[in-house]
Structure 1
C-alpha cells in the first residue's frame, strides 16, 4: 500500500468506526507530515482522496473536517426532514421506549445478536400548525449507545443521527396505505385518506444503525428524484457483456 493510501485508510477507518464524527476537524497537512514522516504532497493527496470519497470537506483557511452526510438532492439519500420542512418545523416525541429487541424489531433492523437492545421512538413532525409526518423509528443501541440517554427534545432523531453517526449504506422502500383511525388523528386527515410511506434502513459497515418508517399525508407530500443513464464502457478484447 502506498503511503498516501495508508494515511487515507487510517483516517477513513476512524470515520467509519465513529471515532471521528461528522464535523470533527482532521489533522492539517503539516500535522500529517510530522506524524507520518511523509512529504506534504503525500499528505495532501490522502486528504484529496477522502474528499473525493465524500468523507471529508476542506474549507479554505479553516482546514479539513469530517463531512456531514447530506442527501437533500437525492430521493434515495438520507435527507434531514427538519431542513426539508423549513423554519416552521416543529416536532414532538409521542412515544419513547428502550427494550430488548423483539422479533418484529429484528425483522425491521436485520440480523441482531442475542440480547440486543433497541430504542423505539414515535415522533410527529409539524410545519406550523399542520401535521406533516409520523416517524416510527428503531435505533440499534449497539451501534449508537449514546441514543439511550437522549430525549430528542432539541433535535428530532433523524437530525440528531445525521449529525453524529456516519452511515455507509441505506435501503429504501416506498409504498402507500389508507390512514387508520390512529394515523388519521395524528396527521389531521380523514380515516381512509391516502398516505405515502417511506421505510428506510441504514447501516454502517454492515452494522444496522436505524430503521425508520415515515408516514406522510398523500396530499401534502411527493417524492422526487433525478437520475442520468450510466454509460457502459466499450467491451475490450476478451471481455463479455452479460
Structure 2
C-alpha cells in the first residue's frame, strides 16, 4: 500500500507503527531467507539483540519464539539459537513441483540446467523408461536451489516419442518437471524411494561430502501409449520427509 510523506496511507489513515518484536523477527527472518545466515548459523544471543535494539529481553524472546514456531530457527539448551535446516514434507502419492516445495519454506527458488543431451536410448535408458525398444530420448540434469543452498539434484529422461515438444523446450528457463505437468497429460505414476550415500557427482552438485546420506525418489509417469518420463530426484537426507496418509481397509497386516 502506498504511503504519504506525512505518515498516512493512501486512504488518509495514520500508519500504525510496527511493533518492535515484529521488526526484530522480520530482520532476522530476512537474513535467513536471503541466505546471509545459512542453515547452522548461530544467531546473536538474546542479550546481544536486546542491546542492539534497545529493548527488553521479553521483546526479543517473543520475536525468536515466533521464528521457532515458523520452523526457521531452533533453540539449543546452553548453546543459543541456530538457523534450522529447511525440511520439506511431501505426500508419497502426489507429484509436486519443486518450486512450490521451496517457496513453501519461505525461500527463494532457482533452477540451473547442468546437462541436456538428445540420444538414442541405451539399455540402461530402456530399463529406466520401461521401453520395449530403443527410441529417441532427452536426457536432462539440473539443480534446484533453495535460498543459497542446493536443494535437489534432478536426473531426468523424457521419451521424445511421447513428448516431441520437449525437443524444442527451453529447460534452462523452465524446470522440466513443471513444464511436463503443464504440457503433458499422464494417467499413472510410480514412486520408488531409497536412501543412499551421495556419489561423487551428487556430492559435488549438492555441496556434500561424498557418502553423505541422501533420499532418492525415482519416479516414472506414463499414459496409455507408454512412458512419458523417468526422473531420479536426490535430496540431502536432512532436507526432505515423505508423508503418507491413509485409513483402515478391509485387509489387515
Q: 1:44-71 deviations in whole A, cap 9, x for unaligned?
A: xxxxxxxxxxxxxxxxxxxxxxxxxxxx
Q: Structure 1 73/95 Cα, relative in aligned 2: closer, same or farther at 3 Å?
A: closer
Offset at residue 91 of structure 1 (A): 0.5
Q: Which runs of 5+ in 2 are unaligned?
A: 1-88
Instruction: Find the counterpart in structure 2 of residue 216 from structure 1.
Output: 235
Are 1:227 and 2:237 matched, yes or no? no
Offset at residue 183 of structure 1 (A): 1.2
Q: 1:57-103 deviations in whole A, cap 9, x for unaligned?
A: xxxxxxxxxxxxxxx97312211111111151110000000001111
Larger Rg: 2
Give the alignment partner of residue 96 of structure 2, picking from 55, 73, 79.
Answer: 79
Instruction: Find the counterpart in structure 2 of residue 162 from structure 1.
Output: 181
1-side partners of 2:162 and 2:249: how far apart? 34
Instruction: Find the counterpart in structure 2 of residue 32 from structure 1.
Output: none
**TM-score by structure 2 length?**
0.60
Cα contact 2:186–2:223 (8 A) shared by 1:
yes
Q: 1:16-44 deviations in whole A, cap 9, x for unaligned?
A: xxxxxxxxxxxxxxxxxxxxxxxxxxxxx
Offset at residue 169 of structure 1 (A): 0.6
Cα contact 2:113–2:143 (8 A) shared by 1:
yes
RMSD: 1.7
Cα contact 2:90–2:243 (8 A) shared by 1:
no
Instruction: Find the counterpart in structure 2 of residue 196 from structure 1.
Output: 215
Aligned length: 160
3-state secondary structure, aligned to 1:222: strand
Give the alignment partner of residue 126 of structure 2, picking from 106, 114, 129.
Answer: 106
**Aligned counterparts, 1:6-17, within 5 A:** none
